[in-house]
Amino acid sequence: MKVKVAINGYGTIGKRVADAVSLQDDMEVVGVTKTRPDFEAKLAAKRYPLYVAKPENVELFEKAGIEIQGTIEDLLPKADIVVDCSPNKVGAENKAKYYEKAGIKAIFQGGEKKDVAEVSFNALANYDEAKGKNYVRVVSCNTTGLTRLIYMLKTNFKIGRVRATMLRRVVDPKEDKKGLVNGIMPDPVSIPSHHGPDVKTVLPDVDIVTTAFKLPTTLMHVHALNVEMKEAVKPENVISVLDQEPRIMLVSAEDGFTSTAKVIEFARELRLRYDLYENVVWKESIGVDGNDLFVTQAIHQEAIVVPENIDAIRAMLELAERDESIRKTNETLGIQKVF
């Protein structure tokens, strides 16, 4: 029997999670929601049973001639779990308004505060903590990228403090209402950026401070990390550890990966919507100077949290142990060594 998954919010993350759920043999999408009857709602209705996230908007969908199956209140009783992919902070409102009343398990995204859920989640780092839980938050794209990398380093080497700079894409490609056309914006201007404290919600014992800047690009984030090593390590040791983890993709500038533009050009050949579920780490960036390890990675913000949402569903409904869930998710999403 497949578990029934509702997706509340069919935007950048929601549509990708819906497609990923559809690829699993132990879960199915019972419905997705939109608040507005735009082209994304029209496409959603062709692919999945469509429901209206705001009951007061039903008439708008009827006027637009889009077939709907009801509202979020009709959808939730049909599901075993809801993945909330609504905009930042709206997930917490949906929890109070709908999920608690319906008594349904819910997954939230990184735009929510950590106290929306019992556990902040990353599949590699703390799958077991989400087992059987009712409310779980999948951490943001930047935090997922940092957590995976730091988890691999701390489970294979003795590490000390981590200092990292996030060079953030300013908006997603579709966002035409805001942006930064010319300039680099410290965001925030003072330390720390929220990413370090957010990593600690999953890896509490890591000494990490982060800074962040917004750049006029939409493709990917880039992270520059400096990790104190408490044992002698060579770049090749780190490369061989990272090479073992399918959710980390090692690329080389020698192969023409000179920027995020080239990484995305490669991904356009690889996957639908050029989705990169993996951390993309430049091999040549892995360098050691005394006790300091340096690593640079790129993160495709629209896709990296998708496998984590699938694994969170399995953990909360206790469908599989960590390694089995990760293996299935990787296999269905095509996460495997490319080079």
List residues with catalytic annotation.
Answer: 141
Q: Determine the interface stretch with ligand NAP among 104-112, 151-159, 212-220, 246-254 (rule: CB under 6 A).
A: 104-112
User: Residue 54 or residue 234: which is nearer to ligand NAP going by CB?
Assistant: 54
Residues 31-70, one symbol each (x = binds ligand NAP by CB under 6 A, - = not), give: --xxxx----------------xx----------------
Cβ neighbours of residue 129 closer than 8 Å, sequence gap 6 or more: 119, 121
Using the structure block, give the residue that is written with the tokens 């990413």.
195
Rounded (10°) CA dihedral 202, 15, 99, 87: 70
| Shortest spacing between CB 290 and ligand NAP, in angstroms | 35
Q: Are strands 287-289 and 292-299 parallel, antiparallel or unpaired?
A: antiparallel
Q: Does 172 bind ligand NAP (CB under 6 A)?
A: yes
Measured distance between the N- and C-terminal CA atoms of the chain, rounded to whole angstroms: 36
Cβ atoms 300, 173 nearer than 8 A: no
User: Residue 8 or residue 120: which is nearer to ligand NAP going by CB?
Assistant: 8
Q: Does 94 bind ligand NAP (CB under 6 A)?
A: yes
Q: Are strands 221-229 and 287-289 parallel, antiparallel or unpaired?
A: unpaired
User: Residue 116 or residue 238: which is nearer to ligand NAP going by CB?
Assistant: 116
Q: Does 301 bind ligand NAP (CB under 6 A)?
A: yes
Nearest residue to ligand NAP on Cβ basis? 11
* The one among 59, 64, 88, 230 contacting ligand NAP by CB under 6 A: 88
What three-state secondary structure class fits 190? coil
Where are any strands of DSSP class E within 263-332? Answer: 279-282, 287-289, 292-299
| Shortest spacing between CB 253 and ligand NAP, in angstroms | 25
Cβ atoms 238, 293 nearer than 8 A: yes
Closest residue by Cα to residue 44 from 27, 25, 61, 57: 61
Q: Does 195 bind ligand NAP (CB under 6 A)?
A: no
The two structure tokens encoding residue 272: 């639908």
Amino acid at 328: K
Q: Does 86 bind ligand NAP (CB under 6 A)?
A: yes
Separation CA 76–CA 106 (nearest Å):
10
Q: Does 305 bind ligand NAP (CB under 6 A)?
A: yes
User: Residue 112 or residue 245: which is nearer to ligand NAP going by CB?
Assistant: 112
My answer on whether omega of the bond before 197 falls inside 30° of 0, hence cis, is no
Q: Does 167 bind ligand NAP (CB under 6 A)?
A: no
| Shortest spacing between CB 71 and ligand NAP, in angstroms | 11
By CB under 6 A, the count of residues binding ligand NAP is: 29
Cβ atoms 117, 43 nearer than 8 A: no
Q: Determine the interface stretch with ligand NAP among 80-88, 176-184, 283-291, 308-316 (rule: CB under 6 A).
A: 80-88
Q: Does 14 bind ligand NAP (CB under 6 A)?
A: yes
Q: Does 179 bind ligand NAP (CB under 6 A)?
A: no
Backbone angles phi, psi at 320, to 5 degrees: -160, 160
C-alpha angle 246-235-264 in degrees, rounded to nearest 5: 45
Q: Does 141 bind ligand NAP (CB under 6 A)?
A: yes
* The one among 2, 4, 12, 23 contacting ligand NAP by CB under 6 A: 12
Q: Does 278 bind ligand NAP (CB under 6 A)?
A: no
Query: What is the number of other CB atoms lying within 10 angstroms of the CB of residue 290?
Result: 7
Judged by the rule CB under 6 A, the positions of this chain that interact with ligand NAP are 8-14, 33-36, 53-54, 85-88, 90, 94, 109-112, 140-141, 172, 301-302, 305
